[in-house]
Amino acid sequence: MARFVLYHTDGCHLCEQAYSLALQTLPASDIEKVDITSNEALMQSYQTTIPVFERKSDHVQLSWPFELSQIQQLVE
C-alpha cells in the first residue's frame, strides 16, 4: 500500500518533475498519484499549489517547489 500521495494534474510538467524526484527515494508502489481534477474538494484545496507531496500517516505535505532533500526528510 502506498505511503505517500502526489496530488497532480495530467500534463503538469512540474508534477512530472516532482514524481521523478520522489522516485529517486521511493519505489513507485509507495506513491499514490491522485489527479485533483477528479474531485472538486481537491481542486479547491490544491489547484494553485500542485504538485503537492503528502505523507499519508500524518498528512504532512510539501508544496512545490520542493527538493529531493525535503522528500528524503519526509520519508525518514
| Domain boundary assignment for the chain | 4-75
How far is it, in rounded angstroms, from Cα 62 to Cα 32?
15
23-46 pLDDT, tens per residue?
A: 999 999 999 999 999 999 999 999
The H or E element that residue 21 is part of is helix 13-23
- In this prediction the pTM is 0.95
Average pLDDT over residues 43-63: 97
The residues, any chain, with a CB within 8 Å of residue 64's CB and separated by 6 or more, are 14, 18, 49, 50, 51, 52
Band (pLDDT 50/70/90 cuts) for residue 70 is very high
- Which CATH fold topology does 4-75 show? Glutaredoxin (3.40.30)
Average pLDDT over residues 48-54: 98
